[in-house]
Amino acid sequence: MIAFSLVQSVIVIRLLSPQEYGFIGLVLAFAGIVGVYQHLGLGVGTLREVSLARDEQEASKIFFTSLSVRMLITLPLVFGLLLFSSYITNTIYHRPEILFGTRLVAFTILFNGIMEIVFNVLNGLQKFKQVFILQILNSAVSMLVVVPFVFFLKYDGYFIGSLIT
């Protein structure tokens, strides 16, 4: 997993200009700040509760409850980021060229929130092999998708590829 991410990062760095790579860092830093608010301990709580569940039906109930709560938290964040992305990129950062990436990363935050709950449920059910396989596949597919998108579309391609994976 780390090897795929490392190789992907090295290739992306080589394909982009320092300015483009800096823009990616700027967008991801801002997304990280917004993304922190979606966690609120929900992933760890889901892992704990699923591991204590008596049967798969109870684990399923915990999964859907956690997913619902995550969406109640994440959807307003995503819509807020989409709504204010133009203001943030133009007025605060004075970088209108990062608007597209900022909007795409909002959707990435949404999908990452769902993935975190899924992985924590699988970990709680002690399905470590499935988690490991999914993480390896996710890293490999990410590298195979993001790198060509960056090659052809540069900065925008990074966020399109990341959203796809």
Phi-psi region of 128 (alpha: psi -120 to 50; beta: other; left: phi over 0): alpha
* Closest to 120 in 3D by CA, of 1, 34, 39: 39
Question: How far apart are the C-alpha atoms of 25 and 101, rounded to whole Å?
Answer: 11
**Residue at 18 is within a domain:** no
**40 vs 140, higher pLDDT:** 140
Tell me the pTM. 0.91
Give tens-digit pLDDT for 22-35.
Answer: 999 999 998 999 88
Which domain range does residue 69 map to?
41-164
146 domain-assigned: yes
Asked, for residue 115, whether it belongs to a domain, the answer is yes
For residue 39, give every residue at least 6 positions away whose Cβ sits within 8 Å of its Cβ, in sequence order, or none: 116
How many other CB atoms sit within 10 Å of the CB of residue 15?
17
